[in-house]
Amino acid sequence: MSTWTVDRSKILQPDEITLVLTDLRRKARRSTNSRMNMVVFRLATCCGLRASEIAGLILGDVLVDNSRPSIRVRREIGKGRKARKVPLTWDAGTLADLVEWKQFRREQGAADDAPFICSQHYDALGNALDRRNLRKRFKACCKVLGRERQGELTIHDGRHSFVSHALHGGRSIVEVRAAAGHSSLATTSIYAHLVDTDDEVGNLFDFGG
């Protein structure tokens, strides 16, 4: 039997998520890179994507032009070559940010097979980013939490946070398992009591900050 556990300290708590998103939204008004960092943070923390999955995501995987928007994680980029769909109906703020970013990438001339997250530097525009770059960007997003907390957190902790908040926010363990791509319900259930709040969650990652 597996004894694997998740360290509670690795979960971004509601006030921390609110603080990061508020800071990124302010910076995004004047910086394209900050705007993209906000999308990276959303994909990790509000959608549960791994760094490798964010790196491999293309515009055609972000399905927002229908009544059931979702992210398609293709076998080619999913862990263990397992495909899955991540619903984008759980959190309106996340959906809005991804819709806006996809439109922005379209305005840059990106086609369906172009990277969703890519370099915005003038001489490398459109080039895919690697996992190392994405990890650095996630760290940059967490700067507002203070140096010590920033040093503790990794982009994979965003994924841990997504699972914890989805369960706490009322999504069923079966739904969350499917969205996260866990191999068993036992793995998903580990996350059920890692959020330090009893407040009712409306939009999953809108904590009223």
What is the set of active-site residues? 50, 79, 156, 159, 182, 191
Residue of 174, 176, 170 whose CA lies nearest to 201: 170
Amino acid at 170: G
The DSSP secondary-structure symbol of 100 reads: H
Whole-number Å distance between alpha carbons of 172 and 182: 14
In angstroms, the CA 15 to CA 19 distance is 6
Question: Strand locations in 38-173, DSSP E?
Answer: 62-63, 70-73, 84-87
Question: CA angle, 71 as apex, 193 and 64 as ends, to 5°?
Answer: 120
Pick the closest to residue 182 from 58, 41, 86, 92 (CA basis).
86
Instruction: Specify whether the CB–CB gap between 65 and 162 falls below 8 A.
Output: no
CA–CA dist 53, 76 (Å, integer):
9
Distance CA 209, CA 202 (A): 13
Tokens of 22: 């508020």
